[in-house]
C-alpha cells in the first residue's frame, strides 16, 4: 500500500495547479466578468454555457435558478412552465421557444430591487447569472452572479422589437409588450421612445385590455395622459435567506438569456449541479480516485509527493492511469526514434511522397514500429513497466510465450487527448504484402475510447477556439496536410465514424465570444462513398450548436493528395468553398433523379422530403423547403411544404411509437370529424362543404379524400349517404391511402349524440372554414416579426393591413360559429 498522501503535499498541489489553467486544458473558457470564467460544461451535454470557474476561490460550479417569467401568453410562475416548451423574450428583443425544467432543491438568496418608487423581491440561487449595466455611459453590460450583485447595480432590461419612432405599431405588437407614450427612460435619464400609440386611432380604440401582457401597458393604454418610466431595476440589497426550494429555469439557445417579469433580462441557468475544486474536477473529468487525481496534478506541477505510511513512493507505484500515460509517452518516444533508423526507410519514403519533411514528422510525433515481435515490449519492460500494464494499455498483446508488440513494421501516429497526453496510437502498414488491415488502432483501454478521441485535438484546440471553427477530415495525413497548409483547426476520428461523443469534445472549444457558437466543416471524398459519409454526418448535425458545412473536392482528392498535387492554397480554398450540410444533403439526394420530367421531380421530392422534414429548426426547415422547390423547378411552395409536412408527420408518428404517444393536432382531429360527416352524414353539410378548397386541409390524406368527394359529385349529390354513397367514393378513390380513409371514416363513430348531430356538423364546418384564416394570420404575424418597422416601413404597413383584414375575416367566421 502506498499510504496516505500528506495534507501539506495536497495543499501544495492545489496551490501550484491554478484551476483555470487545469480546466482550460479540457474546455475553452471565456471571461464572464467579475473575475469569473465561463464555458460549456464537460459533465453534461449542453448548447449554452453554464459552467462557471472562479479562480479567486479555486472553485467551479454548474448552476440553476428560480423566478417568474414573461412569456408570449403573459407573466407566469416558472414552476407552471416546468416540463414544457414556452415562447419567451430573448436578449435581442425577439420571441423564441425554450424548454423549462426543474433543477432540484437548492438554497436561495433574496435580491431586493427598486424602480420608480416600487419595491420588488426576487429569490435566486447564489450562482444565478444577471446582466448589469456598466461602462462610463452605462451602455455596456456585464455578467454578475447573484452573490456578487452590489447595491446600486442596474439590471439590464429588454423589450420586444426595435425602436419604432414615427411608426404606428400593430395592436398585436402592443399586446406583446411595446411600451406606450414616450417610452421608457434609459438609465442615463434620456427619454428613448420605444413606440408611440394613439389611443384615438380607429384601429386601436376597441383593442381588448386583457390582451396586454403588462399591467402598466394596459393602464397606459387606457389613460388620458402618458408618463415616463425607467427601464431598469436597481439593486438595493442581496442577502442569504432561509428558503431551500425546488428551482426551475429555461434553456434558451438564442442569446443564452431571457426576460423575467418586468422585463428584467437574466441568463440561462441550467446545469448538472457539478462543482468543486481543481482536484474534484480532475477526479470527475478523468474518472480517477482522489489519490490518483492528486498524483496526476502533482506530476503536472512538478510536486514530489510524500506518503505518511510509506515514505516516498516511486512513480511506478502511482495510480494506474498515470502509469499507463507514462508508458504511452515512453512508447511514443521509442517509435519516433526508430523512424530515423535504416529499417524505417519505407516509412520515411511514404511521408516524403505525401509532401512531409522530417520536421513535419517531429511536429506530429510520427514514428515507426520495428518489425520485430518484442522490440517495444523489451524496451518498456526494461524501464520498469509490467507485462500486464502493456497489455492493459493496448501497447502489447498476449503471445504464446508472453506479450508481443501490437504494432510491427508500421508507420505510427501518437494519438493524444486534449491535454497533450499520449493515450493511444494509429498505425498504417507500408507494403500491400504485409499482414493485417491497412490501418490498425489501439483497442479500447482505460485510456483510449475510440468514440471519444479526435486525432490532432491537442494541436488544434487553441485555433478551434480562436477561429470558432473545426474541420473534420478522414485520416492522419489529412490532418497533417491541413495544418501545414494553413488550416490548423483540422482533426480526425480514429477508426470510427464521427459521432455524438466527438460532438461533445468539439463543443468545449467551439465558443464564439458573443454567442458561444462556431462552425464544423466536414471534408469528404467527392465520390459516392464520400457523399454517403457526408449524409451519415447529417444525422448528427442538429446535435451541434453550430453551423455545419461540407467541403467536397470534386475530383475525389483528399486534403493530403490535394496539397501534393495543387499546393497549400488549394487546401485552404477547399475549406473556404464549403457549403451548408443541409444544402449538400438535399442537393446530393435530388441529383440522383432526372429533373427534366415530372415523374423525376416527384421522385426527387419524395427522396429529399425526409431530410427537410428532419430539420428541427422550424424556420430553417421552411427556408430549405423553399430552396427545394426552387431546385426542383416546381414553383409551387405550398405543394412542396405539404409533401414535407406529410413526411414530418409520419416521422413524428414513428417517434411516438418508439417513445410515447403524443396528442393529436386539434386541427387534424376537426378535419377528420368533418370528413367523417361527409362520408356518413353528407346531407348535414350542404354546399358549404363543396365550396371548400382542398388546401383548407392540413394533411395530404385529408386533402386527397376531399378531392375524392368532389370527384364523386360532392355532398350535394350524395343524398342521405348510405352504402351507395360509400361505394361511389370507393370507385373514385384510386389511391390505396384514400380508399383506406374512406373505409375508416365510414365505420368510425361520430363524436356526438344523434340528437345533436346537426348542430355538431355546423360547428365543425365553421371551425374548418376558419382554420386557413388562422394559419394565414400566423404566417403574416411571423413575417411581421422579422421586419424592422423603421427600415422596412412600407412592407411593415402592408402586412399590418393584411393582418387587420384577416382578423376581421376571422371575427366574421367566429361570429358565424357562435351563431350556429
Between 102 and 450, the higher pLDDT residue: 450
Mean pLDDT for 122-137 is: 84
pLDDT band at residue 456 using 50, 70 and 90 as cut-offs: very high
Q: Phi and psi dihedrals of 45, rounded to 5?
A: -80, 115
The residues, ordered by sequence, that sit 6+ positions from 128 with a Cβ below 8 Å of its Cβ are: 63, 64, 65, 145, 146, 266, 267, 269
Residue 94: its pLDDT value, please? Answer: 83
Cell digits of residue 656: 411516438
Q: How confident is the model at residue 196 (pLDDT cuts 50, 70, 90)?
A: very low
Average pLDDT of the segment spanning 110-116: 89
Task: Determine the CATH number of domain 7-60+275-315.
Answer: 3.90.580.10
| Residue 363 near residue 460 (C-beta atoms within 8 A) | no
What are the pLDDT digits (tens) for 403-450? 999 999 999 999 998 888 999 999 999 987 777 889 999 999 999 999
> pLDDT higher for 549 or 634?
549
Q: Name the 3-class secondary structure at 230.
A: strand
- What's the confidence (pLDDT) of residue 200? 36
Q: What is the DSSP annotation of 98-129? A: EEEEEEEEEEEEEEEEEETTEEEEEEE-TT-E
For the chain, helix, strand, coil in percent to 5 are 45, 20, 35
Please state whether beta strands 68-71 and 184-185 pair in parallel, antiparallel, or not at all (unpaired).
unpaired
| Rounded CA separation 543/540 (Å) | 6
Confidence band for 556, pLDDT divided at 50, 70 and 90: confident
Alpha-carbon gap, residue 593 to 607, rounded angstroms: 9
Secondary structure string (H, E, C) spanning 695-760 = HHCCCHHHHHHHHHHHHCCCHHHCCCCCHHHHHHHHHHCCCHHHHHHHHHHHHCCCCCCHHHHHHH
Whether 647 contacts 625, CB under 8 Å: no
Q: Which of the two residues, 1 and 341, has the higher pLDDT score?
A: 341
8-state DSSP, 17: S
Per the prediction, the chain carries an average pLDDT of 78
Buried b (16+ CB within 10 A) or exposed e, 35-69: ebbbbbbbbeebbbbbbbbbbeebbbbbbbbbbbb
CATH of 666-819, one of 1.20.58, 1.10.860, 1.10.287, 3.30.450: 1.10.860
| Alpha-helix residue ranges (DSSP H) falling in 59-168 | 78-81
Report CA Rg, the chain: 33
SS3 label, residue 209: helix
Residues 193, 678: Cα–Cα separation, whole Å: 55
- Whether the CB-CB separation of 806 and 780 falls below 8 Å is answered with yes
Q: Is 50 exceeded by the pLDDT of residue 65?
A: no
| CA 685 – CA 446 distance, rounded (Å) | 71
Q: 792 or 271: which carries more pLDDT confidence?
A: 792
Question: Model confidence over 458-483: pLDDT tens digits?
Answer: 999 888 877 889 999 989 999 999 99
Mean pLDDT along residues 535-553: 66
Please, what is the Cα angle at 265 between 105 and 151, to 5 degrees? 80
* Fold of the domain spanning 319-448: DNA primase DNAg catalytic core, N-terminal domain (3.90.980)
What's the pLDDT score for residue 168?
41
Instruction: Judge whether 32 and 38 are in contact, CB under 8 Å.
Output: yes
d(CA 82, CA 245): 14
Q: Would you kindly state where each structural domain of the chain is located, as residue ranges?
A: 7-60+275-315, 69-159+234-267, 171-230, 319-448, 457-588, 592-658, 666-819
Q: Is the pLDDT of residue 537 over 80?
A: no
Look at residue 531 and tell me whether its pLDDT is greater than 90.
no
Q: Which of 366-380, 596-610, 766-780 has the lowest mean pLDDT?
A: 766-780
606 vs 349, which has greater pLDDT? 349
What local confidence, expressed as pLDDT, does residue 336 receive? 97
Mean pLDDT of all residues in 498-514: 70
Where is mean pLDDT largest: 17-31, 40-54, 194-208, 361-375? Answer: 361-375
Give the position of cell 410515447. Answer: 660
Dist CA 2 CA 493 (whole Å): 38
Task: Determine the Cα angle at 769 with ends 766 and 774, to 5°.
Answer: 115
pLDDT at 108: 80
Higher pLDDT, 746 or 208: 746
Q: Which CATH superfamily is domain 69-159+234-267 in?
A: Hedgehog/Intein (Hint) domain (2.170.16.10)
Q: How far is the CA of 4 from the CAs of 8, 31, 93, 305, 306, in angstroms? A: 11, 37, 57, 10, 8
Q: What is the pLDDT of residue 770?
A: 80
Q: Which residue has the cell 476561490?
A: 57
Would the pLDDT of 317 be above 50?
no
Residues 6+ apart with CB under 8 A from 765: 674, 685, 688, 689
Query: Distance between the two ends of the chain, CA-based, in angstroms?
Result: 87
Of the given ranges (1-10, 298-307, 393-402), which has the lowest mean pLDDT?
Answer: 1-10
- What is the Cα–Cα distance from 503 to 499, expressed in whole angstroms? 7
Range ranked top by mean pLDDT from 279-293, 480-494, 702-716, 768-782? 480-494
Query: What kind and span of H or E run contains 231?
Result: none
| Cell numbers placing 53 | 470557474
pLDDT for the residue numbered 359: 96
Stronger pLDDT, 608 or 160, i.e. the higher one: 608
Does the pTM exceed 0.75?
no
**Which cell is 213 given?**
401582457
Q: What is the pLDDT of residues 729-771, one digit of tens each?
A: 888 887 777 788 888 888 777 777 666 778 788 888 888 888 7
C-alpha cell at 802: 393584411
Torsion angles phi and psi, residue 531, rounded to 5: -65, -40
Instruction: Say what percent of the chain tops pLDDT 90.
Output: 24
Distance CA 303, CA 18 (A): 14
Asked whether 407 and 369 are in contact (CB, 8 A), the reply is yes
Please report the pLDDT score of residue 441 as a whole number: 93
Q: Assign 695 to helix, strand or coil.
A: helix
Classify domain 457-588 by CATH number: 3.40.1360.10
DSSP 383: T
Highest mean pLDDT among 13-17, 479-483, 492-496: 479-483
Q: Could you give the percent of the chain with pLDDT greater than 70?
A: 77
Amino acid at each position: 500500500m502506498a499510504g496516505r498522501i500528506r495534507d501539506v503535499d495536497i495543499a501544495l498541489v492545489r496551490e501550484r495547479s491554478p484551476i483555470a489553467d487545469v480546466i482550460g486544458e479540457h474546455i475553452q473558457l471565456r471571461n464572464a466578468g467579475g473575475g469569473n470564467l465561463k464555458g460549456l460544461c464537460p459533465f453534461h451535454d449542453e448548447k449554452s454555457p453554464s459552467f462557471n470557474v472562479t479562480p479567486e476561490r479555486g472553485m467551479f460550479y454548474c448552476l440553476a435558478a428560480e423566478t417568474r417569467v414573461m412569456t408570449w401568453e403573459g407573466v407566469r410562475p416558472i414552476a407552471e412552465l416546468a416540463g414544457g416548451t414556452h415562447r419567451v423574450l430573448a436578449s435581442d428583443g425577439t420571441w423564441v421557444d425554450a424548454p423549462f425544467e426543474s433543477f432540484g432543491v437548492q438554497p436561495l438568496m433574496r435580491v431586493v430591487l427598486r424602480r420608480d418608487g416600487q419595491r420588488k423581491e426576487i429569490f435566486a440561487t447564489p450562482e444565478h447569472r444577471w446582466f448589469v449595466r456598466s461602462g462610463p455611459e452605462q451602455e455596456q453590460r456585464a455578467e454578475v452572479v447573484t452573490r456578487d450583485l452590489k447595491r446600486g447595480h442596474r439590471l439590464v432590461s429588454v423589450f420586444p422589437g426595435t425602436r419604432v419612432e414615427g411608426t404606428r405599431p400593430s395592436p398585436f405588437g402592443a399586446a406583446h409588450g411595446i411600451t406606450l407614450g414616450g417610452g421608457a427612460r434609459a438609465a442615463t435619464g434620456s427619454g428613448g421612445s420605444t413606440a408611440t400609440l394613439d389611443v384615438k386611432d380607429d384601429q386601436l380604440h376597441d383593442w381588448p385590455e386583457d390582451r396586454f401582457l403588462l399591467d402598466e401597458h394596459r393602464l397606459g393604454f387606457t389613460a388620458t395622459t402618458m408618463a415616463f418610466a425607467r427601464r431598469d431595476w436597481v439593486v438595493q440589497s442581496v442577502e442569504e435567506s432561509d428558503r431551500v426550494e425546488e428551482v426551475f429555469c429555461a434553456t434558451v439557445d438564442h442569446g443564452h438569456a431571457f426576460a423575467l417579469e418586468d422585463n428584467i433580462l437574466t441568463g440561462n441557468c441550467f446545469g448538472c449541479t457539478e462543482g468543486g475544486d481543481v482536484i474534484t474536477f480532475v477526479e470527475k473529468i478523468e474518472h480517477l480516485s482522489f489519490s490518483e487525481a492528486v498524483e496526476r496534478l502533482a506530476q503536472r506541477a512538478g510536486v514530489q509527493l510524500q506518503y505518511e505510511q510509506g515514505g516516498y513512493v516511486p512513480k511506478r507505484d502511482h495510480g494506474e492511469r498515470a502509469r499507463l500515460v507514462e508508458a504511452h509517452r515512453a512508447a511514443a518516444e521509442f517509435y519516433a526514434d526508430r523512424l530515423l533508423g535504416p529499417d524505417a526507410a519505407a516509412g520515411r519514403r511514404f511521408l516524403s511522397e505525401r509532401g512531409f519533411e522530417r520536421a513535419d514528422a517531429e511536429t506530429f510525433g510520427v514514428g515507426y514500429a520495428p518489425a520485430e515481435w518484442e522490440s517495444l515490449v523489451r524496451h518498456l519492460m526494461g524501464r520498469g513497466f509490467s507485462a500486464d500494464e502493456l497489455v492493459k494499455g493496448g501497447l502489447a498483446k498476449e503471445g504464446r510465450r508472453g506479450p508481443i508488440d501490437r504494432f510491427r513494421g508500421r508507420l505510427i501516429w501518437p494519438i493524444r487527448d486534449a491535454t497533450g497526453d499520449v493515450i493511444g496510437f494509429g498505425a498504417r502498414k507500408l507494403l500491400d504484402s504485409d499482414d493485417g488491415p491497412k490501418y490498425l488502432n489501439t483497442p479500447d483501454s482505460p485510456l483510449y475510447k475510440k468514440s471519444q478521441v479526435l486525432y490532432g485535438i491537442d494541436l488544434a484546440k487553441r485555433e478551434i477556439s480562436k477561429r470558432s471553427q473545426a474541420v473534420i477530415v478522414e485520416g492522419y495525413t489529412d490532418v497533417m496536410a491541413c495544418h501545414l497548409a494553413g488550416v490548423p483547426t483540422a482533426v480526425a476520428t480514429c477508426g470510427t465514424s464521427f459521432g455524438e461523443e466527438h460532438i461533445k469534445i468539439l463543443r468545449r472549444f467551439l465558443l464564439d465570444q458573443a454567442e458561444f457558437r462556431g462552425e464544423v466543416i466536414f471534408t469528404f471524398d467527392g465520390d459516392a462513398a464520400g457523399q454517403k459519409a457526408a449524409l451519415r454526418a447529417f444525422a448528427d448535425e442538429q446535435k451541434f450548436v453550430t453551423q455545419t458545412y461540407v467541403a467536397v473536392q470534386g475530383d475525389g482528392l483528399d486534403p493530403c493528395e490535394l496539397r501534393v498535387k495543387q499546393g497549400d492554397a488549394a487546401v485552404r480554398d477547399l475549406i473556404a468553398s464549403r457549403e451548408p450540410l443541409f444544402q449538400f444533403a438535399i442537393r446530393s439526394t435530388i441529383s440522383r433523379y432526372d429533373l427534366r420530367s415530372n415523374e423525376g421531380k416527384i421522385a426527387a421530392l419524395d427522396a429529399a422530403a425526409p431530410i427537410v422534414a428532419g430539420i428541427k429548426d422550424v424556420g430553417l426547415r421552411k427556408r430549405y423547403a423553399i430552396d427545394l422547390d426552387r431546385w426542383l423547378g416546381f414553383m409551387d411552395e405550398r405543394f412542396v411544404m405539404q409533401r414535407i409536412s406529410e413526411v414530418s408527420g409520419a416521422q413524428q408518428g414513428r417517434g411516438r411509437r418508439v417513445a410515447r404517444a403524443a396528442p393529436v393536432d386539434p386541427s387534424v382531429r376537426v378535419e377528420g370529424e368533418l370528413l367523417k360527416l361527409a362520408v356518413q352524414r353528407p346531407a348535414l353539410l350542404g354546399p358549404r362543404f363543396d365550396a371548400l378548397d382542398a388546401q383548407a386541409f392540413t394533411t395530404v390524406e385529408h386533402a386527397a379524400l376531399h378531392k375524392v368527394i368532389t370527384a364523386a359529385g360532392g355532398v350535394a349529390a350524395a343524398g342521405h349517404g348510405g352504402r351507395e354513397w360509400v361505394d361511389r367514393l370507393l370507385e373514385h378513390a384510386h389511391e390505396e391511402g384514400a380508399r383506406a380513409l374512406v373505409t375508416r371514416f365510414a365505420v368510425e363513430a361520430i363524436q356526438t349524440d344523434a340528437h345533436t348531430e346537426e348542430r355538431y356538423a355546423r360547428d365543425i364546418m365553421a371551425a374548418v372554414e376558419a382554420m386557413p384564416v388562422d394559419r394565414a394570420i400566423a404566417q403574416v404575424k411571423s413575417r411581421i416579426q422579422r421586419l424592422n418597422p423603421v427600415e422596412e416601413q412600407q412592407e411593415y404597413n402592408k402586412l399590418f393591413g393584411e393582418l387587420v383584414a384577416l382578423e376581421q375575416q376571422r371575427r366574421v367566421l367566429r361570429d358565424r360559429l357562435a351563431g350556429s
